[in-house]
Amino acid sequence: MYIKTLSVTKLNSYIKKVMDNDFILRNICVKGEISNLKIHSSGHIYFSLKDGASKINCIMFESDACNLTFTPENGNNVIVKGRVSTYPKEGLYQLYCNEMEIEGIGQLHIAFEKLKKKLENQGLFDEDNKKRLPKYPRKIGVITSASGAAVRDVINVAKRRNPFVDLLIYPSLVQGEKASEDLIKGIKYLQKIKEIDVIILARGGGSIEELWAFNDEALAYEIYKCNKPVVTGVGHETDFTIADFVGDRRAPTPSAAAEIVVPNINEINQKLDNLKTSLSMSMKGMINDYYSKFEFLHKKLELNNPNNYIVNLYNTLDNYNIRLKNIMYSKLNTEQGKLQNLKSLLFAHNPLNILDKGYAILENDENTIIKNIEELKKNECINIKMKDGESKFKIEFLEDI
Letter for the amino acid at 302?
Answer: E
Annotated domain spans of the chain: 8-104, 138-263, 351-394
Letter for the amino acid at 243?
Answer: A
Orientation of helix 254-261 relative to helix 149-161, angle to 10°: 30
| Alpha helices in 233-305, H assignment, sequence order | 242-246, 254-261, 265-303
Q: What is the pLDDT along the chain (401 residues), one digit of tens a residue?
A: 567 788 888 888 888 888 888 888 999 999 998 889 999 999 999 999 998 788 999 999 999 999 887 888 888 888 999 999 998 888 889 999 999 988 765 567 778 888 999 999 999 999 999 999 999 999 999 999 998 899 999 999 999 999 999 999 999 999 988 999 999 999 999 999 999 999 999 999 887 788 899 999 999 999 999 999 999 999 888 888 999 999 999 999 999 999 999 999 999 999 999 999 999 999 999 999 999 998 988 888 877 777 777 777 788 888 888 999 999 999 999 989 888 888 888 877 777 777 777 788 888 888 888 888 888 888 888 898 888 888 888 888 777 76
Q: Where are the beta strands (DSSP E) in 172-216?
A: 198-203
The CATH code for residues 8-104 is: 2.40.50.140
pTM: 0.52
H/E element, 221: helix 217-225
Q: Measured between alpha carbons, how far is residue 359 from residues 353, 355, 356, 393 in Å?
A: 9, 5, 7, 16
Strands 389-394 and 381-386: antiparallel
**What is the rounded CA–CA span in Å between residue 272 and residue 266?**
10
Is the distance from CB of 79 to CB of 105 less than 8 angstroms? no
138-263 belongs to CATH 3.40.50.10550: yes
Is the distance from CB of 141 to CB of 193 less than 8 angstroms? yes
**What is the rounded CA–CA span in Å between residue 143 and residue 157?**
16
DSSP state of 399: -
Is the distance from CB of 78 to CB of 101 less than 8 angstroms? yes
Closest CA to 88 of 9, 17, 21: 9
Q: Got the DSSP string for 321-383?
A: HHHHHHHHHHHHHHHHHHHHHHHHHHHHT-GGGGGGGT--EEE-TTSPBP-SHHHHHT-SEEE
